[in-house]
């Protein structure tokens, strides 16, 4: 079965280019026969994940794999990681600085939104090691 893989790099604190990976992913999906509402969900999750790497994480990458049944979005970074991922997953929980809030980020809804918009969601994080989030979107039987 053919699978398409792409990798994008995400740079720490690079707000100017933040979003490029997600836009790239979006454009790949659009040229394929993927339902626009799924593309929408992948785009939202990709962007939230990308922003988290830029704001809280470190240098990281966004990997996407598309086959005939699934889209797998894998976002990882080698930043500070988190001690308590359950806490981080809570709606409204955020450690974003005031500066980030000024810029319109840090509502603490990123991780909950990613979980809500994906069909499978898995987060792995360890202090000092980094964070990895894996999301799966089913192309055959999807949410909504």
Partner 1 sequence: MKVCPTRAIRIRDEKSVRLLDQCIGCGECLRVCPAGAISTDQPKLEQLDKNKFSAVIVAPVLSSQFPGEMPSDILAGLKKMGYTHIVELSDFLEMFQFATVTFIQENRKNRKAPWPLISPVCPVVVSLIAIRFPGLLKHILPIERPLVLLISDIRNKISRQFGIKKDDIILHHITPCPSKAVLERSLSKDERLNIDRAFGINSVYSALFHKIEESKKADILSFSRDRFDSFTSGRCLKWGMSGGEISGMQIDKSMAVCGIRETIDYLEKVELGMLRNMEYIEFRACPEGCLGGPLTVIDKYLAKSGVYRMVKMFGMGRRLPRYKIRRLYDDGWFYSKTGPDEDEMLRKLRKKPLSIESLQKIDLLFEKIRGKNCAACGSPDCRTFAEDVVRGDAKLNQCLVIRARKAEGDGKKEKRKGKVKK
Binding residues vs partner 1 (CB under 8 A): 2-4, 19, 22-23, 26, 28, 30-34, 36-37, 39-40, 43-44, 46-48, 66-68, 104, 113
Q: Choose the stretch contacting ligand ADP; rule: CB under 6 A; options: 9-17, 35-43, 54-62, 134-142.
A: 54-62
* CA-closest candidate to residue 94, choices 106, 105, 86: 106
Rounded to whole angstroms, how far apart are CA atoms 84 and 65? 28
Burial bucket for residue 47 (CB in 10 Å: 0-12, 13-18, 19+): buried
Encoding tokens for residue 108? 């603490």
Q: Is 56 in the site for ligand ADP (CB under 6 A)?
A: yes
Residues 105-134 that bind ligand ADP (CB under 6 A): 105-111, 131
Q: Is 18 in the site for ligand ADP (CB under 6 A)?
A: no
| Binding stretches for Mg ion (CB under 5 A) | 52, 110
Residues 37/144, Cβ–Cβ less than 8 Å = yes
Rounded to whole angstroms, how far apart are CA atoms 116 and 62? 19
Contact residues toward ligand ADP (CB under 6 A) are 48, 52-53, 55-57, 77, 79-82, 88, 93-96, 105-111, 131
């Amino acid at each position: 079965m053919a699978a398409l893989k792409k990798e994008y790099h995400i740079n720490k604190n690079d707000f100017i280019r933040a979003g490029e990976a997600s836009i790239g992913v979006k454009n790949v999906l659009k040229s394929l026969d993927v339902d626009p509402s799924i593309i929408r969900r992948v785009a939202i999750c990709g962007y939230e994940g990308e922003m988290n790497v830029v704001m809280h994480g470190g240098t990281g990458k966004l990997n996407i794999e598309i086959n005939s049944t699934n889209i797998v979005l894998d976002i990882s970074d080698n930043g500070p990681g988190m001690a308590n991922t359950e806490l981080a997953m809570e709606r409204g929980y955020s450690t974003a600085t005031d500066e980030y809030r000024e810029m319109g980020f840090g509502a603490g809804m990123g991780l909950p939104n990613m979980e809500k918009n994906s069909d499978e969601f898995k987060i792995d994080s360890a202090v000092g090691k980094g964070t990895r989030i894996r999301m799966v979107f089913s192309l055959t039987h999807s949410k909504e």
